Amino acid sequence: FAGVFSDAVSDPALREVLSTRLQDRYRLALQDALGEPENRVLFFIDVVVGTLLHRLGMTGEPMVDADVAALVEMVLPHFADGADPT
């Protein structure tokens, strides 16, 4: 899966497929759930997915439920209070 992301860096058509087929439904659901605009939800997705891929690439292990819960606990408050990530 990481190889697909690497290929997408130089392939706009592949990025479009990843965006529309894999990301859009989650983006829309998160926008509704968090009440945040698209750019902030996309940043949220970047932070969470980037962390998961980093963990997998560095250790070869997926994050366990407790790690995912800790990540959400760390990141979500920054979206709930309207803090600006830029």
Which pTM value belongs to this model?
Answer: 0.71
Contact 65, 72 (CB under 8 A): no
Report the 3 state secondary structure along 13-66: HHHHHHHHHHHHHHHHHHHHHHCCCHHHHHHHHHHHHHHHHHHHHHHCCCCCHH
Tens digit of each residue's pLDDT (9 = 90 or more) over 33-78: 988 999 999 998 888 888 888 888 888 888 889 988 898 888 888 8
Confidence of residue 2 (pLDDT cuts 50, 70, 90): low
Separation between Cα atoms, residue 86 and residue 73, nearest integer Å: 20
CA pair distance 33, 73, nearest whole angstrom: 15
